[in-house]
């Protein structure tokens, strides 16, 4: 089973920059998006053979997630059931026979860390949500988690130490999430692999120079790590400031 996650930074823009070709070539069983930047009714995406589920932010042109699945899920829910967090289209949960699949676009703490305090509340509530799901079935959670966990996960850790996405607070919350029963699949399979990233700033020729960050993840419940076949990052695919990340999984 192949699973793909991609922050497209605006699906309409990405459609003009190769999304359809990438979608076809990746040939995923489940394909999910973050930062769709859509309101309901703005786009009809033709994806034969896939069920489509969209979670739109109330704010126009902001955030948003989507899940496309060849197999119809048992159930699909939107958000995490907490009003403070559920107006920005950040979470879709699809239940399958053997696992929950959670697509997430984690809030950015923003320049000057103006949203860091909110981000900390989000982290605690989202972790509790995943732990609750994990009590019923194993969980696969994927998306743009807006944090580089360790120094190996970004090109310039020293100069970015106190910037959004690499603060001690955000990294600590990610460690808490892993400690609560989850495994970072890419790092599990590639513990020492350097210079592989999933996001690059549009500034300073960052992608050309591979001055990137690994902030897009596939995490799985610890008890199904044995079912992970492969985890990869498609740095060859353009169309967004992020590239797709992949999990091959034997359910």
Give, in order, the Cα–Cα distances in Å from 47 to each of 14, 57, 69, 179: 15, 22, 10, 37
Question: In this structure, what token pair is assigned to residue 100?
Answer: 């929950």
For 59, the 3-state DSSP assignment is: coil
Beta carbons within 8 Å of 21's beta carbon, 6+ residues apart:
none
pLDDT at 67: 99
Return all residues near 110 (Cβ < 8 A) that are at least 6 apart.
164
Average pLDDT over residues 82-111: 98
Q: What is the pLDDT of residues 106-130, one digit of tens each?
A: 999 999 999 999 999 999 999 999 9
Strand pairing report for 199-200 and 212-213: antiparallel
CB 63 within 8 A of CB 57: yes
Under a CB-based contact definition with an 8 Å cutoff, are residues 187 and 174 in contact?
A: no
With left for phi above 0 and alpha for psi between -120 and 50, is residue 35 left, alpha or beta? left
Residue 142: name the closest of 237, 2, 1, 4 by CA.
4
Distance CA 43, CA 241 (A): 21
pTM for the predicted model, two decimal places: 0.98
Strand partners, 104: 91, 143
In this predicted structure, what is the pLDDT of residue 139? 98
Residues 6+ apart with CB under 8 A from 241: 7, 9, 199, 200, 201, 202, 207
pLDDT of residue 71: 98
Query: Alpha-carbon dihedral of residues 128, 139, 97, 6, nearest 10 degrees?
Result: 120
pLDDT digits (tens, 9 = 90+) for 161-193: 999 999 999 999 999 999 999 999 999 999 999
- Distance set, CA 203 to CA 43, 209, 215 (Å): 29, 11, 17
What mean pLDDT, rounded, does the chain reach?
98
Q: What is the DSSP pairing of strand 65-69 with strand 100-105?
A: unpaired
Tokens 């930062």 identify what position?
35
| Tens-place pLDDT, residues 11-65 | 999 999 999 999 999 999 999 999 999 999 999 999 999 999 999 999 999 999 9
- Give yes or no for a contact between 228 and 194, defined as CB atoms under 8 angstroms apart: no
Give the residue numbers annotated as catalytic, written as ranges.
105, 144
């Amino acid at each position: 089973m192949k699973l793909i996650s991609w922050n497209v930074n605006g699906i309409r823009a990405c459609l003009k920059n190769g999304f359809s070709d990438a979608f076809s070539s990746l040939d995923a069983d489940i394909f999910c998006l973050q930062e769709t930047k859509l309101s309901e009714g703005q786009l009809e995406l033709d994806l034969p053979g896939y069920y489509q589920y969209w979670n739109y932010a109330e704010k126009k042109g902001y955030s948003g997630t989507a899940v496309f699945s060849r197999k119809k899920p048992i159930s699909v829910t939107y958000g995490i059931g907490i009003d403070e967090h559920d107006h920005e289209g950040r979470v879709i949960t699809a239940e399958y026979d053997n696992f929950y699949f959670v697509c997430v676009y984690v809030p950015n703490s923003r320049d000057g860390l103006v949203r860091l305090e909110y981000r900390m509340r989000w982290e605690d509530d989202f972790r509790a949500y995943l732990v609750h799901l994990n009590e019923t079935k194993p969980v696969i959670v994927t998306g743009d988690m807006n944090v580089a966990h360790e120094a190996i996960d970004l090109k310039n850790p020293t100069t970015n130490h106190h910037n959004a996405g690499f603060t001690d607070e955000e990294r600590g919350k990610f460690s808490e999430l892993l400690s609560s029963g989850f495994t970072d699949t890419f790092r599990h399979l590639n513990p020492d692999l350097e210079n592989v990233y999933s996001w690059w700033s549009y500034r300073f020729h960052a992608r050309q120079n591979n001055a990137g960050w690994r902030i897009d993840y596939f995490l799985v419940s610890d008890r199904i790590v044995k079912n992970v076949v492969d985890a990869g990052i498609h740095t060859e695919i353009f169309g967004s400031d992020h590239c797709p990340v992949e999990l091959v999984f034997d359910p």
